[in-house]
């Protein structure tokens, strides 16, 4: 049955994911949770469904059942469950790619638990989803939802060691991140003429070549070439002075060199309600900006705000594409 329902994948069941699913019903978004219902908090009202669009009684969490190998101890990921976490993502993608659901919202996984438990060969959802979609080029955007001017960031290199950044941050990687971000701002965020700011890699954006050469040798020529196509690009900018409010007012998204350069500002400004969006996929995927939060898992105190924001963003993006 065709459905516009968003699928919320369970993520790591020993993290905060299972307790966030019923709390996320407050979003008002039509979604179904995919996972093992034995992992949900006691007294959760849920109804198992066979297809994403099947009806459920009011106030019930629609559940696409996916049995896991082991019960859950909050805060302690069990290697036996790693394969289930991966299988849920793959099954949800299949449904979305077949048009049986309107998009994907993923609850957090533990990259380490999947690697040790199942030899998972991808550093995160972003790379795995790219693979499942046919190895399409993607970009990872984190977007604030409660901050003005908004903070939207895209790291041109993603989940790699810091020591590998200079070699991986090539003009090809940066151009890809800029092009994917530009297209997604038009398609999914309704920004007709996106303004992008591009961060330098080095302190002071290289300070005229005295603190590093990547800006002068690689970023400046690339931005000149893309500007000649009509793109509105600013940079390379010193990363330490491009995220305060007056600076953010001048652009719609910042393309950065590496993970922490991009994610520290957004998570500082809007950790509670930030959303992670994979740009470039043939389907919609959002996620809360936080991780598994093992330290508070199972205590019932995890905030659903970021998951709610992620579900609403997925719904709005699906509506925009429709
Ligand atoms: N999209 C995904 O699947 C993501 C997965 N992760 C994974 O999460 C694991 C833990 O990562 P950390 O760096 O510790 O980040 P984290 O986001 O899990 O936790 C950082 C801090 O924020 C708190 N926190 C997180 N979510 C919260 C919530 N909903 N309500 C209240 N407090 C919350 C935690 O208790 C902790 O103090 C790692 O294995 C990482 O790979 C991290 C980010 C995204
Ligand atoms: N720090 C952000 C992050 O790890 C997101 O990873 P994923 O969405 O690719 O799983």
291 by Cβ neighbours in 10 Å (0-12 / 13-18 / 19+) ranks as: middle
CATH class for domain 137-280?
A: alpha beta
Atom of ligand 2 nearest to the CA of 128: 9
The CATH 3.40.718.10 domain(s) of the chain lie at 1-135+283-322, 137-280
Give the residue-averaged pLDDT of 302-309: 98
Q: What is the ipTM of this complex?
A: 0.98
Within 10 Å of residue 192's Cβ, how many Cβ atoms?
6
User: 295 CB under 6 A from ligand 1?
Assistant: yes
Give residue 222's pLDDT: 98
**What tokens does 39 get?**
């992992």
Give the residue-averaged pLDDT of 303-316: 98
Q: Is 275 left (phi over 0), alpha (psi -120 to 50) or beta?
A: beta
**pLDDT tens profile 71-109:** 999 999 999 999 999 999 999 999 999 999 999 999 999
**What tokens does 223 get?**
């931005």
Q: How far is the CA of 257 from the centre of ligand 2 (A)?
A: 16
User: 300 CB under 6 A from ligand 1?
Assistant: no
- Check pLDDT > 90 for residue 322: no
**pLDDT tens profile 217-236:** 999 999 999 999 999 999 99
Atom of ligand 2 nearest to the CA of 259: 1
Task: Note the pTM of the prediction, 2 decimals.
Answer: 0.97
Task: Write out the binding residues for a divalent metal cation.
Answer: 159, 204, 259
Give residue 320's pLDDT: 87
- Check pLDDT > 90 for residue 321: no
User: 287 CB under 6 A from ligand 1?
Assistant: yes
Nearest residue (by CA) to ligand 1, atom 36, is 293
**pLDDT tens profile 132-191:** 999 999 999 999 999 999 999 999 999 999 999 999 999 999 999 999 999 999 999 999
Whole-number Å distance between alpha carbons of 237 and 306: 29
Q: Hey, which of 18, 292, 305 would you mutate to test ligand 1's pocket, going by the most ligand atoms within 8 Å of its Cβ? A: 292
CATH class for domain 1-135+283-322?
A: alpha beta
**Cβ atoms of residues 310 and 276 within 8 Å:** yes
């Amino acid at each position: 049955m065709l459905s516009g329902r968003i699928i919320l994948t369970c993520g790591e069941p020993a993290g905060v994911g299972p307790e966030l699913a019923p709390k996320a019903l407050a979003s008002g978004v039509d979604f179904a949770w995919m996972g093992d219902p034995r992992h949900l908090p006691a007294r959760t009202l849920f109804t198992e469904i066979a297809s994403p669009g099947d009806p459920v009684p009011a106030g019930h969490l629609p559940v696409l059942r996916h049995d896991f190998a082991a019960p859950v101890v909050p805060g302690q990921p069990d290697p036996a469950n790693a394969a289930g976490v991966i299988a849920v993502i793959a099954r949800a993608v299949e449904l979305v790619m077949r048009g049986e659901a309107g998009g994907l919202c993923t609850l957090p996984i533990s990259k380490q638990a999947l690697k040790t438990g199942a030899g998972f060969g991808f550093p995160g959802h972003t790379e795995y989803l790219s693979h499942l979609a046919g190895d399409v080029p993607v970009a990872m955007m984190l977007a604030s939802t409660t901050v003005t001017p908004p903070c939207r960031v895209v790291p041109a290199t993603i989940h790699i060691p810091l020591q590998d950044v200079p070699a991986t941050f090539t003009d090809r990687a940066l151009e890809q991140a800029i092009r994917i971000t530009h297209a997604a701002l038009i398609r999914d965020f309704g920004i007709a003429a996106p303004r992008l700011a591009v961060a330098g890699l080095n302190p002071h954006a290289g300070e005229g070549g005295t603190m590093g050469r990547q800006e002068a040798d690689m970023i400046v020529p690339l931005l000149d070439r893309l500007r000649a196509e009509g793109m509105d690009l600013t940079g390379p900018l010193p990363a330490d002075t491009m995220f305060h409010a007056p600076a953010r007012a001048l652009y719609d998204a910042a393309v950065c060199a590496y993970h922490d350069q991009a994610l520290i500002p957004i998570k500082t400004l809007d950790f509670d309600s930030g959303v992670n969006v994979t740009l470039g996929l043939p389907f919609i995927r959002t996620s809360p900006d936080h991780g598994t939060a093992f330290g508070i898992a199972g205590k019932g105190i995890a905030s659903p705000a970021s998951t709610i924001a992620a579900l609403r963003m997925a719904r709005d993006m699906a509506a925009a594409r429709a």
